[in-house]
Amino acid sequence: MVKEGTAAHGTGADTSVPPTVPGSGKPSKTPGKESAIRRIVRERWNAISLSTKLVTTLLVLLTIGVAGISFSIRQLVSNYLLEKVDAQIVQQANLVFQNINSLRDSDTNSSGMTSYFLQIRDTDANILTTPLKPTIAEGVVSEPILPASGTMGDVVFGEPFTTSAIVHLSGEIPSRSTLSTARAPWRVVAMRVMQNDNFVNIVFIGLPLGDSIDTISSLTRYCIMVGTAVVLLGGVLGMLVVQGTLAPLKRIEKTAAKIAAGDLKQRIPAMPENTEIGSLSASLNAMLARIERSFHEQQETTDKMKRFVSDASHELRTPLAAIHGYAELYKMQRDMPGALERADESIAHIEASSSRMTVLVEDLLSLARLDEGRGIDITQQVNLTAIVKDAADDLHALDPERGITCGAVGFMPRQGDEPSRLMFELKDLPAITLHGDASRLRQVVTNIVGNIHRYTPADSPVEVSMGEVIASIGGDSLGRMPATEQSLRHFLDAVEVGQSVHVGMRYAVVRFSDHGPGVPAESRARIFERFYTADPSRARQKGGTGLGMAIVESVVKAHHGFICACQTDGGGLTIVVVLPIAPVEIPVMSSPGGKQAKGAKQQKSGKSLFAPKSAKSAKPSKPDKPDRRGVERKP
C-alpha cells in the first residue's frame, strides 16, 4: 500500500504552505495582484463607449443564441435519424435474413436493401459466414468493425450500437467522396436466430450512417450560414437602433457643453415622456429652467443690490452735503453783520435736510425688517373697508378740490376677443375683513394715496374701489408673481375659473385709479423698485424718497398678496392690490329630510360677480352721508 504522503509527492502536487501571520496561525494576504488585474479590466471596460458595449453585448447574445439553437437542431435531427435507422434495422432484420440469396445476387451498386451488412455466427459467436457486404462505387467494400470471432464483447442482443468501418480497396485509388462514404460509421444490432424455440445462430445486421452524416453535415452548414447572416444582420440593425436611441444623449451632451459655455437658454429637444430619454429630457429641461431662472434672479438681485447701494449713497449724500454746506456757510458768515438772521436760515436748511435723511433712514430700516420677515404681524383681524375709507378721506383733506368717487370692484368675464377685466361699479364700499397687519396695510394705502397727491394734478378725479372675488390660485403662488400686467392677466384668468366653479381662494381687490399724467408702459413695473422715480427732480421737490412703493410691495408680498400698476381707461395710472381672505367653503350636501346643514346655504347676490359674504365679515352699513368730497365722476 502506498502511503498518503508518498502518493502526494509522487503525483507532483504542490505541497507549499502559504505564509502565515506570526502569532495568529492564519494565512497572510499577499499583495492584491488579482485586485489590480480586476481594476485594470474595469478601467478598460469603462473606457469603452456605451454604444460599443451595447452592440458588442448584442452580438455576443445573438451568437450564443444562434449557436445554441443550431446545436439543439443538429442534435434533434441526429437523434431522429439514428432512431429511424435503428427502427429500420430491427423491423427489417427478419426480412433480410430470409432473403440472403436474392440480396447477394442483386446489383451491389444499387441502393436500398443491398446496403445491409449481414454476418452469421454460431451460438458461441464464432463467425460462420458473412453473406452480405455492401459494395460502394469503384469496388470499395465497407464493413463494420465487430467483436472478434468467438466473443461478443460488450454487445447486448437487440440493442443497436455504433461502430467504425473497415474499408477494403480493390486496387484502384477511389475518389475522395467515395472514400469518405466508405469510412462512415455503421449502426449494427446483434440478434438471436430461433428455430422451433431453439437458439441456433447469432446474426449481426447493420446499415451505414453515411446518408445520416451527410444530412447532418448539410444541416450544420445551413445553420452556420443562416446563423452568420442572422448575427451580421442583427449586429447592423442593433448598431442602427443603438445609435438612433443614443442620438438624444449626444444632443444632451452638446446642449450641456453649450450651457457650460454660458448659454443658459439652451434646451434639450422634447421627446415623449413615456420613454426613458424623454423623461430624462423633461427633467433636465425643468432643471435647466430653474437654473436659468435662479441665475437671472441672482443676477437681478445683485444688480438691484448694486443699484440700491448706489442710490442709497446718492440719496444720503445729498442731505449730508447740504448739512455740511450750510454749516460751512454759517462758519464763514458768523462774524459778519446780520449773522444771527443768516444763522437761523442755515439752521432751518440743516433741519430740513436732517428730517429728509431721517425719513430716508426710517424707510430703509422698514424695508430691511420686511425683507427679514420682521416688523409685521399678519394674524390680526383687519377691517379693510375702514382703512380704505380713511385713505379716501385723507386724500380729500390733502386735495379738497379733487373729485373722489368710492365704489365696488366688478369682474367682467372674457367676451370673444375681449379679455377678462376689472371694472368700477358705483355703489357703497363692500364690508371686507381679513387677517393681516392693520398698521402695515394702512401704510400701504397711505403711500398709494400720497403718490396720487404728489404726482397728479390737484383737480384730477380719483376712483377708489374694492371688492371680493374667487380665484383658482393659491396665496403662495400669488405672492410669488411679479408686479407686472401679465401677472394681473394671469390672476384674472384664475378669477374667471374660480367664479365659474366656485372653488379656490377668496381675495380682496382694492383699486386706486387716477386720471393724471400716468406712467409709460415700460416703466410701470419699475415703480415698485427701490429709489425709482419717473422724474427724480419732481420727486425731490415733492419730498419723496423713492422707497414708498417699494415698501408697499414688500408689505403686500408679506401678506401673500399681489400688486401691480396698469393704465386707467381714459389715461392715468391704476394701482391694483390683491390680498387673500380665506379659502372658499365647500357647500354641505342636503340631508335626507331636505334640510341643509348649518352654514351650507349660501345667499346669491343680484350679480354673480363677487363671492358670497360670510356672516362674520358682513356689517350693517352706516347711513349715507352727504358727499363733501366733490362731484362724483360717473364711470
CATH code of 312's domain: 1.10.287.130
Is residue 194 in a domain? yes
Give Cα separations from 278 to 230, 241, 435 (angstroms).
31, 16, 45
Is residue 630 in a domain? no
My answer on whether 235 and 365 are in the same domain is no
Is residue 613 in a domain? no
Higher pLDDT, 54 or 610: 54
My answer on whether 539 and 430 are in the same domain is yes
My answer on whether 183 and 125 are in the same domain is yes
pLDDT at 617: 38
Higher pLDDT, 29 or 489: 489
* Strand extents, DSSP E, 285-403: 380-383
My answer on whether 129 and 165 are in the same domain is yes
Is residue 629 in a domain? no
Q: Give CA–CA dist 397/270, Å, rounded.
A: 60
pLDDT at 611 over 50: no
Task: Work out the percent of the chain whose per-residue pLDDT is above 70.
Answer: 77
pLDDT at 342: 67
Is residue 525 in a domain? yes
Q: With a threshold of 0.85, does the pTM exceed it?
A: no
Q: Quick: pLDDT tens for 501-521.
A: 888 899 999 999 999 888 888
Q: Which of 199, 232, 264 is at the close of a domain? A: 264
pLDDT at 608: 31
**Grid cell listed for 435:** 387677517
pLDDT at 13 over 50: no
Is residue 633 in a domain? no
My answer on whether 257 and 296 are in the same domain is no
My answer on whether 222 and 310 are in the same domain is no
My answer on whether 380 and 366 are in the same domain is no
Are 81 and 218 spatial neighbours (Cβ–Cβ below 8 Å)?
no
pLDDT at 190: 92
List, as one string, the DSSP characters of 177-191.
Answer: HHHHHHTS-EEEEEE
Scanning the structure block, which residue is given the C-alpha cell 477511389? 174
My answer on whether 473 and 551 are in the same domain is yes
> What total of structural domains would you count in the chain?
3
Q: Which of 241, 264, 287 is at the close of a domain? A: 264
Q: Give CA–CA dist 88/68, Å, rounded.
A: 30
Higher pLDDT, 477 or 601: 477
Per the structure, the complete domain to which residue 461 belongs is given by 376-584
Highest mean pLDDT among 7-11, 428-432, 623-627: 428-432
My answer on whether 168 and 223 are in the same domain is yes
Measured distance between the N- and C-terminal CA atoms of the chain, rounded to whole angstroms? 126
My answer on whether 489 and 443 are in the same domain is yes
Q: Give CA–CA dist 514/496, Å, rounded.
A: 26
pLDDT at 589: 52
pLDDT at 635 over 70: no
My answer on whether 308 and 405 are in the same domain is no
